[in-house]
Structure 1
């Protein structure tokens, strides 16, 4: 499968997460008031939201790697459903911590690829 197809799959899979994050903002246009806040918003919220669900989906479609999908699904389930009501962090906090569980998902995918195909990185 070519890179463009995987990019489209990743973006389409990441859009629901991005919409949930944007819907959590009380005033989404407040980020436009400051250029530095806007850059931070783009880097963490938009890109982070798309990567959290988009990258594992693209790895699943392109390379049939299941481990990244499981890791991210468990992380999202933990932050949204299993955390007690009232203690659940804001969805923006989840996106800000997404590099951690995204790194764990990529490591799990690399280990799965090694066990299934004999190398750590897809070729």
Structure 2
């Protein structure tokens, strides 16, 4: 059974690129356009295991740091690994991401093999 990954990013083109790379590697992918949409999609998945979340930081309505903070308060997702995929390289923002619960930080533009390598390290077999 394919491992399920949620992509949270306000850029439809970036979601498409990440989705294609992950799908080609055999993962099942769900997309959300911002943090609020991400939380909503996770609520709709009742009972399905999400193996990993990839989230942008800068998004309208709810940014990635707030999304991860709220995500980690949900018992079902407390231990779900999160990769931040963002243009944001500031140390303070990275520290806030780590504090919120992000496990990895990838700066855009990214190369798909680098992202897939990080994904494979964080998703348990």
- Structure scoring higher RCO (CA < 8 A, sep ≥ 6) equals 1
Return the TM-score normalized by structure 1. 0.31
Return the TM-score normalized by structure 2. 0.30
Greater fraction of residues in helix: 1
Greater fraction of residues in strand: 2
